């Protein structure tokens, strides 16, 4: 098979998939405002990467086989659309899981590798469907009032399985080709039906996707970022979906149920940290620009806040570099980032993110949310007055400063800003999960030995 062009990608979405938004079923994704920008971004990515030839494939299917290749992959993915990034991370997570379960299940590992090749050969885009509805969080999957609130196997057939449930927060599901379903957490003996991992085409019978979006619906000039960069968020319903055996990667083996979640968490957190590096630098840039525009760049508390933001961005970058520098190979020769440094960096970046946004808002001031619209700025009668009073000094005219305020509001204090605030915290499993993994991989024995040395107590 050959790589797809942007036009071929758009045509591939007309496959009978069932997508809902704003209380109606969407028959033509390209004609609906929730999906237009996303489709343009993904199609442009297909065109940018397209190369002729039967053996051609995109860089998003690269498997890093050295630390340098891993670093190069992370540098490249910052320039890809979210669906392409998700495809790369999700398939690498599957390969990570394959490497970890191979000693006890060569068949599942083989199926995962075959699925990777299938996606590469057909130039498909995949999303990871991991978060279940969960019901009452104090109850285990088998003790819920409704057993479907954790995705489960409801029927086992000689040729495959039938699954039922829902997966929440699945970014870009409606505009992708494949759903990679995996357990949301570790399952225990007796919870075999909920220990399921598999790959499901988006247009499979029984799949429905309900969408929300942070894209602006009007006044797009006032949303300089989110009007150009947005993706739909999917609430995926799996209503007795049949999955053939070759697409089943786990079907009841509870001892491996957490393997998939941990593998995905590793790659999602690494990718999230890479994006936090870029976002951290962006916040610093916006803070410095608006301070200069306001004439406050030399005020001591403003300088201190920007210095804190610089340290934040630098430490997140350092954590990312450490995760790559300490990457280790699998028996297959695939390089995976350091669990310890990846989780520590993502935790720090996410935990301190809201404080950096707070600094930016404190530096910018109230006009972040009250600046007149671009349409008012361009109005024949009131526009000149807005320019006059939004100006601060020579070189900083009213339009420039107004547009800066709109950029800060859109990026940090409106629909996209709210989405980003929650996403930075929750992506990759939330802070608690990152603390658990960091603790698991921290060299505690070494730390304890140092403590005993200071205390003058023999290790034995």
pLDDT per residue over 58-72, tens digit each? 999 999 999 999 999
pLDDT per residue over 240-249, tens digit each? 999 999 999 9
Higher pLDDT, 103 or 219: 103
- The whole-chain average pLDDT of the chain stands at 95
In the chain, the percentage of residues whose pLDDT exceeds 90 is 92
Report the C-alpha gap between 175 and 232 in whole angstroms.
8
User: Which of the four pLDDT bands, split at 50, 70 and 90, describes residue 34?
Assistant: confident
pLDDT per residue over 91-129, tens digit each? 999 999 999 999 999 999 999 999 999 999 999 999 999
Whether 16 has a pLDDT exceeding 90, the answer reads yes
- Average pLDDT rounded to a whole number, residues 432-439: 92
- Average pLDDT rounded to a whole number, residues 328-356: 95
pTM of the model as a whole: 0.91
Record: fold of 258-447: Butyryl-CoA Dehydrogenase, subunit A; domain 3 (1.20.140)
Where are the domains positioned within the chain? 258-447
Q: What angle do CA 311, 315, 320 make, to 5 degrees?
A: 150
User: Which of the four pLDDT bands, split at 50, 70 and 90, describes residue 216?
Assistant: confident
Report the C-alpha gap between 126 and 165 in whole angstroms.
19
């Amino acid at each position: 098979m050959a790589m797809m062009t942007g036009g071929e990608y758009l045509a591939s979405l007309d496959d009978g998939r069932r997508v809902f938004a704003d209380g109606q079923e969407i028959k033509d994704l390209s004609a609906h405002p929730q999906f237009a920008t996303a489709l343009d971004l993904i199609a442009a990515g297909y065109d940018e990467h397209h190369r002729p030839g039967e053996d051609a494939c995109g860089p998003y299917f690269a498997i890093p086989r050295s630390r340098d290749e891993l670093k190069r992959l992370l540098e490249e993915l910052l320039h890809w659309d979210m669906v392409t990034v998700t495809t790369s991370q999700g398939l690498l997570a599957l390969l990570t899981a394959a490497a970890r379960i191979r000693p006890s299940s060569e068949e599942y590992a083989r199926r995962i590798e075959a699925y990777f090749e299938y996606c590469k050969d057909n130039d498909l885009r995949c999303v990871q469907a991991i978060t279940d509805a969960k019901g009452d969080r104090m109850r285990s999957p088998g003790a819920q009032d409704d057993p479907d609130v954790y995705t489960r196997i409801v029927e086992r057939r000689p040729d495959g399985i039938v699954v039922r449930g829902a997966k929440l927060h699945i970014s870009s599901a409606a505009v992708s080709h494949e759903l990679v379903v995996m357990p949301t957490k570790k399952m225990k003996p007796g919870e075999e039906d909920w220990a399921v991992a598999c790959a499901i085409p988006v247009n499979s019978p029984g799949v429905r996707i309900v969408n929300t979006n942070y894209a602006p619906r009007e006044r797009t000039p006032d949303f300089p970022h989110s009007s150009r960069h947005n993706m739909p968020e999917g609430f995926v319903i799996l209503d007795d979906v049949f999955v053939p055996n070759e697409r089943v990667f786990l079907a009841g083996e509870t001892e491996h149920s957490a393997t998939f979640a941990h593998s995905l968490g590793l790659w999602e957190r690494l990718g999230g940290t890479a994006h936090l590096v870029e976002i951290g630098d962006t916040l610093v840039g916006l803070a410095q620009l608006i301070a200069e525009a306001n004439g406050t760049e030399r005020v001591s508390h403003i300088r201190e806040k920007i210095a804190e933001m610089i340290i934040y961005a630098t430490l997140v970058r350092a954590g990312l570099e450490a995760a790559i520098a300490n990457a280790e190979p699998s028996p297959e020769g695939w390089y995976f980032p350091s669990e310890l440094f990846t989780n520590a960096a993502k935790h720090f970046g996410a935990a301190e993110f809201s404080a950096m946004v707070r600094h930016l808002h404190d530096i910018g001031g109230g006009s972040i949310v009250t600046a007149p619209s671009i349409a008012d700025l361009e109005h024949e009668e009131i526009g000149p007055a807005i320019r006059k009073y939004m100006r601060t000094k020579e070189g900083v005219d009213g339009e420039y400063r107004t547009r800066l305020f709109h950029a800060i509001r859109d990026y940090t204090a409106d629909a996209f800003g709210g989405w980003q605030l929650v996403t930075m915290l929750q992506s990759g499993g939330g802070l608690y999960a990152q603390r658990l993994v960091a603790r698991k991989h921290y060299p505690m024995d070494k730390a304890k030995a140092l403590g005993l040395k200071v205390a003058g107590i023999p290790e034995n």
